Amino acid sequence: MLSQMRARLVPGLTRLPSCLTSTSSSTAAIRATPARCTHHQHRTCSSQSAGVKVLYDGLCPICVTEIKFLQFLQRNRPGKVDFVDISLPGYDGEKHKDVSYEMAMEEMHVIDEKDKVHRGIPAFAVMYSAVGLGWLGSLMMWSPVRPFMDKSYAVFARNRLKWTGRGEECTKGRCEKKTN
């Protein structure tokens, strides 16, 4: 069974962008070194970006766990990514390419080093690339995987407040942290 899966997967990997594949291996191994893709409309392969801003909900336990992990990954590269907590009272969408609190609560937003706003799965791809996980971002954006990622993320984004126990306090205006 494993050999059947490998026979189906390996030819598909050879269709990955050239920045993701190794020319020295017939199994198309993912490079460990950063690469820059210029043939994609989204810069998802580079870990050389600077000034990426990740807008996240600091009251969402799932979101905070992921952000802490990404901050850990970039510990040796300070300043590469600015993690902006939209749940703080001082969040101002005008300072972040007019991404309002409400917009940022609907889905993930990332502003790349060229001030382009990315939403949903492309936002994750830019964010992951900025912290050295470009291979993961590229996998998410790969055409055979992308429709599944888009649908899965849409379900998560639509339900994350309910799933994290914050549905009631987020129905109008800003979410408020629950007090016991």
Q: Which residues contact 15 (CB under 8 A, 6 or more apart)?
A: none
Residue 126's closest CA among 54, 59, 25?
Answer: 54
Contacts 24+ apart (CB under 8 A), 161-167: 161/60, 163/62, 164/60, 164/61, 164/62, 166/59, 166/60
Whole-structure pTM over 0.85, yes or no?
Answer: no
* pLDDT tens, the chain, 180 aa long: 444 444 444 444 333 333 333 333 333 322 222 333 333 333 233 334 348 999 999 999 999 999 999 999 988 777 789 999 999 999 999 999 999 999 999 999 999 999 999 999 999 999 999 999 999 999 999 999 999 999 999 999 999 998 888 876 665 566 765 444
Q: Are 80 and 113 in contact (CB under 8 A)?
A: no
Give tens-digit pLDDT for 147-174. Answer: 999 999 999 999 999 888 887 666 556 6
CATH number of 37-163: 3.40.30
Give dist(CA 93, CA 125) in Å, integer. 22
Residue 138 pLDDT: 97
Per-domain residue ranges for the chain?
Answer: 37-163
Residue 93's closest CA among 51, 53, 44, 65?
Answer: 53
Return mean pLDDT, the chain: 75
